[in-house]
């Protein structure tokens, strides 16, 4: 048996489906060459003698995926939370992101971010950098060392930025993007590039055309923002009068799913036409409940997206969101869905624990492939959670323990973390 085969023993929990948990106590989770080989109540004979770490009654769950966050914004979490999106960007975000032209500052800030990401329960993430190539490569270098599997984007923005945070032309933006891609495409073990037009207001039609050509040449995935805020949506309509809805501003350039794997953050106010196109093209939705609350954007109809069979995962959206933990995002998603049910549409059922857990594991993880589950053949991403620090006189069932960890846990509850079969914490 390969030295890369090992087992973890504990209470194993993962999603059978978006609505059903699989929970097995006193079970073995086997990793074979970076892939899940199965969950067993007794180790099969062929695995006899493999290394096994016994975590007792601790919960072992799939690694969590953060489908949307901004690494340069980690420095100013919890700042400007009385502002709406566009004012927040102009007042807080753009001036702060401009500082990443200074590579010494970038290394200091990104070192803090990467270390805290490593301590989080997340094993995968789609991450925005800034428009600065050197700083973005520093971010990729530092994340690579964490062992997490991430996609990182050099941001594109050639209009409506600020004097200190805007690329001089579409050509300059595209040329810098090509240089960055060619330097990083195969450079790192754990980090890969992802195309990142900030959002339609920041990217001219000429730039989007050039990014479309780049996407076709390098076959990269793409991430951006969609239908987050009423002011933003109205602005896109002014900038793109020939489009019927926001998503068409991307799809007209072939950057909206299909042959271009795409994550769109937020989708708080998506129209019926936009939703239909997202489903047809397989676009992933990054539901960011904490961010949407902090910036007064609204409540994304996650229930509608789940019931319609769209791809939906969770995002922290640092720094409009303040917590890196996708466990926290699960709790937030459940809570805002209750407000949507109570205040917006009483026919729309709130999310369940099972559904939020699925979104944070397999729902978002599937953007990376067979990720986010312990089903046979999935990449072995696992997090071991110790809830013994959350004192209680009650003897709780595993599902109740999981729910408490979703609502109450922090980094101190993480005993171990694995990504693609390698122990990283």
How confident is the model over 55-80, as a mean pLDDT? 97
Percent of the chain with pLDDT over 70: 99
The DSSP-derived string for 2-17 is -TTEEEEEEEEEEEEE
Q: Which residues contact 88 (CB under 8 A, 6 or more apart)?
A: 80, 295, 320
The overall average pLDDT reported for the chain is 97
Please answer whether residues 193 and 185 qualify as being in contact, where contact means their C-beta atoms are separated by less than 8 angstroms: yes
The pLDDT of residue 135 is above 60: yes
Structure confidence at residue 293 (pLDDT)? 97
**What are the structure tokens assigned to 19, written together?**
């609505």
Mean pLDDT in residue range 234-240: 97
Mean pLDDT within 162-177: 97
Question: What pLDDT is recorded for position 27?
Answer: 98
Which position has the token pair 């800030």?
109
* Contact by Cβ (8 Å): 154, 193: yes
| CA–CA dist 177, 164 (Å, integer) | 18
The model scores a pTM over 0.95: yes
Q: How many CB atoms lie within 10 A of CB 237?
A: 15
The helix (run of H) or strand (run of E) holding residue 335 is: helix 326-339
8 near 384, Cβ under 8 Å? Answer: yes
pLDDT over 70 at 69, yes or no: yes
Tell me what pLDDT residue 3 has: 57
* Burial status of residue 23 (CB atoms within 10 A of its CB: 0-12, 13-18, 19 or more): middle
- Residues near 145 by beta carbon (within 8 Å), at least 6 away in sequence: 114
Report pLDDT digits (tens) over 301-327.
999 999 999 999 999 999 999 999 999
Alpha-carbon gap, residue 270 to 415, rounded angstroms: 39
Residue-wise pLDDT tens digits, 258-300? 999 999 999 999 999 999 999 999 999 999 999 999 999 999 9
The three-state secondary structure class of 162 is: strand
pLDDT digits (tens, 9 = 90+) for 204-230: 999 999 999 999 999 999 999 999 999
Which tens digit of pLDDT belongs to each residue from 394-405?
999 999 999 999
pLDDT, average across residues 4-20: 97
User: Is the predicted pLDDT of residue 1 greater than 50, yes or no?
Assistant: no
Banded pLDDT at 146 (limits 50, 70, 90): very high
Calpha distance 331→311 (Å, rounded): 19
- Is the pLDDT at 2 greater than 70, yes or no? no
């Amino acid at each position: 048996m390969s030295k890369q085969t090992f087992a973890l023993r504990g209470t194993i929990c993962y999603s059978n489906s978006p609505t059903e948990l699989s929970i097995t106590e006193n079970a073995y989770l086997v990793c074979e060459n970076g892939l899940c080989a199965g969950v067993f109540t007794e180790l099969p004979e062929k695995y006899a003698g493999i290394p096994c770490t016994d975590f007792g009654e601790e919960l072992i769950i799939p690694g969590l995926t953060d489908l949307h966050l901004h690494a340069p914004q980690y420095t100013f979490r919890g700042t400007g939370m009385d502002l709406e999106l566009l004012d927040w960007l102009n007042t807080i975000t753009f001036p702060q992101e401009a500082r990443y032209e200074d590579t010494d500052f970038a290394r200091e800030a990104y070192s803090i971010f990467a270390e805290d990401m490593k301590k989080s329960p997340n094993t995968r993430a789609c991450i925005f950098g800034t428009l600065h190539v050197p700083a973005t490569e520093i971010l990729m270098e530092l994340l690579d060392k964490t062992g997490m599997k991430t996609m990182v984007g050099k941001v594109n923005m050639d209009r409506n930025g600020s004097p200190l945070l805007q690329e001089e032309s579409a050509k300059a933006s595209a040329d810098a993007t090509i240089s960055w891609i060619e330097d990083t495409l195969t450079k790192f073990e754990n980090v890969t590039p992802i195309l990142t037009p900030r959002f339609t207001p920041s990217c001219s039609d000429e730039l989007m055309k050039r990014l479309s050509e780049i996407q076709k040449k390098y076959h990269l995935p793409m991430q951006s923002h969609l239908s987050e805020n009423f002011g933003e949506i109205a602005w896109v309509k002014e900038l793109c009068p020939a489009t019927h809805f926001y998503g068409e501003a991307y799809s007209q350039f072939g950057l909206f799913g299909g042959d271009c794997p795409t994550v769109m953050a937020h989708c708080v106010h998506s129209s019926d036409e936009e939703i239909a196109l997202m489903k047809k093209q397989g676009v992933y939705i990054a539901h960011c409940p904490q961010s949407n609350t902090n910036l007064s954007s609204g409540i994304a109809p996650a229930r509608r997206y789940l019931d319609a069979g769209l791809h939906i995962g969770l995002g922290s959206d640092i720094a409009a969101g303040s917590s890196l933990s996708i466990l926290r995002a699960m709790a937030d998603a459940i809570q805002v869905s209750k407000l949507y049910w109570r205040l917006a549409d009483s026919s729309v059922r709130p999310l369940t624990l099972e559904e939020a857990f699925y979104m944070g594991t397999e729902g978002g993880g599937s953007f990376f492939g067979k990720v986010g589950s312990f089903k046979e053949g999935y990449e072995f991403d696992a997090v071991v959670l110790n809830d013994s620090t959350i004192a209680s006189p009650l003897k709780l069932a595993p599902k109740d323990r999981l729910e408490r960890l979703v609502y109450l846990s922090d980094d101190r509850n993480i005993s171990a973390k694995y990504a693609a079969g390698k122990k990283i914490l």
